[in-house]
Amino acid sequence: MFKGITHIFIFDSGNTHWWHNSVIDIILLGTGGSIPTDGRNHPAIAVCFEGWNLLFDCGEDCQRQYERANLGLNRKMAIFISHNHADHLLGLGGLLLRFSLLGRMKPLDIFGPVELIDYVKVNQETINLGTIFKTTVYGIKKGQSVFNADGLFVRAFEVDHRGFALGYEVTYERPTGEFLPDKAQQKGIPKGPLWGKLSSGESVRLPDGTLINPEDVTGPKPSPLRIVYSGDTRPCQSLRDAAKNANVLISEAMYTREHSDLAHERGHMTAADAALLAKESQAGLLVLTHYSPRYGNGQPIFMEAKEVFSNCILGQDLMRIRLALDGSSEVLQHTKH
């Protein structure tokens, strides 16, 4: 039935695609830490553009959260694993199997630490895990850019957990500024496909031979949009650097100050640690996630962080955050299940 996952190798370079979109949706599929609880799954974060889903970590039962969020079976997609600990990885096999059983056809790229390749191979050999669509697993040896799509970039950077672990920085840069119809009309450009090409960053030539460049009919390019996902980590400089002026920082906050000794020992952050890092980095919005079930509904985590950095929210499963082109963000939807 399955063709198998036939293309597995160490990361070399990313593939290039093209798309652009006016907003980015962030969907928290799982916000639990270590042990899933009623209403809080293991870690998984989806960053969605029109027709594209980027999934960061794939905790246990991610497949059903993915369906609940209505993210689509056959969209263009890439998966990024932060580290090879069970709570961030156990959902991968189930998600791939679900995609195959339901007929996904589009190729899928998976990125993560090099040992992820061995994990996938063992699953192939022992439980007959395979896919009916092309699936490529890229092993990352060090922090580097791993995904490049004409204005959308994903960069992996090393963090300070137990063993090799990664955080991810997503940057989206529009090819042009706002399209200016009045300028286009003044230059004799007819409304229609040429306007679309220019707003997408393409130069066009008019019937009389005049070359029109995008900057001739568009405003200044807006600042890039940046989303940073910490994965599991202690406070570290690489995360501070990545989070500098980020629009959204999605950070683990496993413990409160009361258990700071456990946080340090086990390679995690307290809520205060995450909030201080967001404050130092001048992040726009801090989303707290991966908090321990010992804190119940997470209010102790939220209250501790808010004392340090006021522009923070407590992540909850199936919460949606929309990031607009101007850098503003808002919570769109929180569906309980």
* Per annotation, catalytic residue among 25, 57, 61, 87: 87
Strand order across the beta sheet in which 135-140 lies:
7-10, 135-140, 108-113, 76-80, 52-56, 44-49, 23-30, 319-324, 329-334
HSE-CB for 126 with a 13 A CA cutoff: 7
Do residues 258 and 236 make contact, with C-beta atoms less than 8 angstroms apart?
no
Identify which of 320, 301, 322 has the alpha carbon closest to the alpha carbon of residue 312: 301
Do residues 215 and 176 make contact, with C-beta atoms less than 8 angstroms apart?
yes
DSSP annotation of 182 reads H
Do residues 28 and 289 make contact, with C-beta atoms less than 8 angstroms apart?
yes
Query: Would residue 109 show up in a list of annotated catalytic residues for this protein?
Result: no
The separation between CA 64 and the C-alpha centre of its own chain, rounded to angstroms, equals 18
Contacting residues for 171 by C-beta, under 8 A, at least 6 apart: 152, 153, 154, 155, 224, 225, 226
Do residues 268 and 232 make contact, with C-beta atoms less than 8 angstroms apart?
yes
Query: Which residues participate in catalysis according to the annotation?
Result: 87
